[in-house]
Structure 1
Amino acid sequence: MTLEFDLYLQEPKELFVFDSQTYDPFDENALGEAGFDYIVARVIGFWLRAPRIATRVFLPPERITLDMQEKMRRAMRSWCDDLLIANRRERVEFIINNVIFFAVALLMLALNWWLQPVISNPQMVTDANLRSWLGYGLDILLWVAVWTPLSALLLEWFPLYRRHQAYRALRNMEMQVLPQTKD
């Protein structure tokens, strides 16, 4: 599947940076954001694999030079490479943090396994209600310790992966630079 985008820009830099000075809210083709952000917002919604992207960038004829298309392709690749590096670093930090949380969860499991027989022994803790409360407290502590890395992996890692997929798709997108025509 190929997603096709037509971007009407006043300056080539608007592909990467929103310029509030040239933005016209009454222009039906005005994006109101950087072209890159516009495309990422639509590509990131694909769950497992980002689609192929084809983009036509329309610029005023006086802004187009002979090598403009190649310059914009190189700029897009460079921009996406930087974002991919930052995303990779973020994913590595995420994995490191969750490995630490998982190690804490294993320690909590060992502590729970060691303390449960002690707490449930009537000779060690004579009050039945206190034994029950301490046993439940350790169980809750264990569940929280185990759930933290699992929920992070299930709920937080996936958006990082989707951004990675979107950046890769934009890095390899087909791009044409065309002159705007007067309607």
Structure 2
Amino acid sequence: MPLASEPVPTIESMYRQKDGRVLIEIKLTSVIQLFNSFDPAPFYEKELDSEAEGYIVDTVQDFPAKTKFMIHIFLPPAIAASEEAKKIIPAIHNHFQYRMLVTERKFRAKFRFGRFSLIVGLSFLAIALVASQIVASMNSSSIALQLISYALLIIGWVAMWQPVTTLLYELWPIIRLKRIYERISTMEIEILPLIA
């Protein structure tokens, strides 16, 4: 437990910075180590390794939205200056541009589903409200009819659960992830020699 006089460490203090930008540093022994080994495409078109992608995305998510970043890829000196190493920069940018497009497509599909479920939910709610009023007006002293009337009201509002959940809560994480992918897809990347 830290003493009262000790400063509390912040997330910023755990990362090095350069020119006011937080450095996302990745140390590799080879270029191919950065990519998914099961992807049959040429390495500069391959998907990033899931751990490398997760590390970059998690780092960006840990910081406020206005934080600026730079990615440093460290490779052994003999590899860092190679033509193969130079292709890492467009490969990372392309990977995250693709992720951004996939996430945007997912957002559009989820939004369409939300609109459709809202129309269905509102229609069902209107029918349930009308049915509830009809049942309630039949015999106001009948407990069974009152229960049916209340049940119809409850069922009508329950039908709104899915559209409300989709449109109010499920879309925002997708938008946030899309923005993160977009930021990473334009980040400055430097390939540097790994000094032992």
Question: Aligning the two structures, in what range does the TM-score lie when normalised by the shorter sequence?
Answer: 0.7 to 0.9
8 Å Cα contact 1:52-1:169 kept in structure 2: no
TM-score w.r.t. the length of structure 2 is: 0.74
- Superposed counterparts of 1:121-132, under 5 Å: 121-123=137-139, 128-132=142-146
Q: Which residue of structure 2 lines up, in the alignment, with residue 143 of structure 1?
A: 157
Query: What stretches of structure 2 of length at least 5 have no aligned partner?
Result: 1-19, 39-48
For 2:69 and 2:31, how far apart are their aligned partners in 1? 19
1:93 aligns with 2:112: no
CA offset digits 1:117-165 (Å, max 9, x no partner): 2110235xx8722222212211221221212111122221111111101
Q: Which residue of structure 2 lines up, in the alignment, with residue 62 of structure 1?
A: 78
CA offset digits 1:41-83 (Å, max 9, x no partner): 1223457x36322111111122223445642221112111211
Query: Percent identity of the aligned residues?
Result: 22
Which one-letter code corresponds to 2:31 in the other structure?
P
For 1:96 and 1:58, how far apart are their aligned partners in 2? 43
Match of 2:59 among 21, 31, 42: 42
Q: Which has the higher contact order (CA 8 A, sep 6+)?
A: 1
**Number of equivalent positions:** 167
Match of 1:158 among 157, 163, 172: 172
Query: What stretches of structure 1 of length at least 5 have no aligned partner?
Result: 20-31
- Distance verdict in 2 for CA 1:96–1:53, change over 3 Å: same
CA RMSD in angstroms comes to 2.5
Q: Which moved more, 1:87-96 or 1:131-140?
A: 131-140
For 2:125 and 2:181, how far apart are their aligned partners in 1? 39
Consecutive aligned runs of 4 or more in structure 1 exceeding 6 Å deviation:
none
8 Å Cα contact 2:79-2:85 kept in structure 1: no
8 Å Cα contact 1:105-1:145 kept in structure 2: yes
For 2:149 and 2:62, how far apart are their aligned partners in 1? 44
For 1:14 and 1:156, how far apart are their aligned partners in 2? 34
